[in-house]
Amino acid sequence: MRVTLKAPAKINLTLDVLSKRPDGYHEIEMVMTTVDLADRISITSLESDRIIIDCPTAYVPLDERNHAFQAAKFVKEKFGISRGVHIQIEKNIPIAAGLAGGSSDAAATIKALNQLWNLKMGVKEMADLGAKVGSDVSFCIYGGTAIARGRGEQIQPIAPPPSCWVVLAKPPIGVSTADVYGALNVAQLGPCKTEDMVGAIKHKDFKEICSNLSNHLESVTLNLYPEVKRIKETMRRSGAEGVLMSGSGPTVFALTEKDSKVNRIYNGLRGFCKEVYAVRLLGENM
């Protein structure tokens, strides 16, 4: 038997850093939502006690460094399962991009194994297991739209924002999340926007959503990589209603409700950025 699942990317509509914790992590509060750009995870059970990752994309580790590998290992440990698993990953989400690609693969692996081995885990149980792999995995288990707190692993699902176009552009640089947090000055952060964003989403007010887009990590990454700033400016010039960097970057996204603007934003970026995607905001739990 084979279970195949989509593993969608996420974007941050807000990312507020509240404080630095004694354990070295930052206390954050953010609104995340899924977009229609997804990896595809296909899983089969093996008789032998092995975890095999099959992924032809460069820079994706095929060993225990792969987030899907770790997810399978934690599931096997939790339930004392001695069978193995073959995990095929079709990678469509850019890597190290701030779009939670690896985390989404891990979440899809947990969900697929839950089905394949009939483990009867509920969503919260899967999210708690996912948090052992990484903070964003819990959100990816829920999908849809949610407020994430703590180090990102405490999830409160909320109703989705109105659907719109999302144009994503990833410059050809890899950003280390640890480096970005390391360069962050917690004493000099702007206002927190998560509460206002949640209000805007509740009102289904696209303009209000765009005016409350905010990410405390953005200025750090923009200073480190001026090309990210250039992408933002190009998106704005092309008429995007809202523009923001996702997670620790370097992917920047533009939001627009208008079909007529999508091509203009997309084509404006294609000239100097190879990885550009025009997708729909999913927002809803799939």
136 is catalytic: yes
Q: Note whether 144 binds ligand ATP by CB under 6 A.
A: no
Contacts of 265 (CB under 8 A, 6+ apart): 167, 235, 238, 239, 240, 254, 256, 278
Q: Note whether 101 binds ligand ATP by CB under 6 A.
A: yes
Q: Note whether 105 binds ligand ATP by CB under 6 A.
A: yes
Return the number of the residue (99 or 276) whose C-beta is nearest ligand ATP: 99
Q: Tell which residue, 147, 114, 146, has the closest CA to residue 130.
A: 114
Choice from 100, 126, 180, 276 touching ligand ATP (CB under 6 A): 100
Choice from 30, 68, 75, 281 touching ligand ATP (CB under 6 A): 68
Q: Tell which residue, 23, 13, 12, 17, has the closest CA to residue 188.
A: 17
Return the number of the residue (10 or 193) whose C-beta is nearest ligand ATP: 10
Return the number of the residue (66 or 114) whose C-beta is nearest ligand ATP: 66
Return the number of the residue (159 or 178) whose C-beta is nearest ligand ATP: 178
* Structure tokens that stand for 262 in this block: 């999508």
Half-sphere exposure of residue 42: CA atoms within 13 angstroms, side-chain side: 9
Contacts of 274 (CB under 8 A, 6+ apart): 172
Q: Torsion angle, CA of 231/192/133/64, rounded to 10 degrees?
A: 30
- Binding marks (x or -) toward ligand ATP, 79..98, rule CB under 6 A? ----------x-----xxxx
Interacting residue ranges for ligand ATP, rule: CB under 6 A? 59-61, 65-68, 89, 95-103, 105, 134, 136, 177, 247
Looking at the annotation, which residues are catalytic? 10, 136
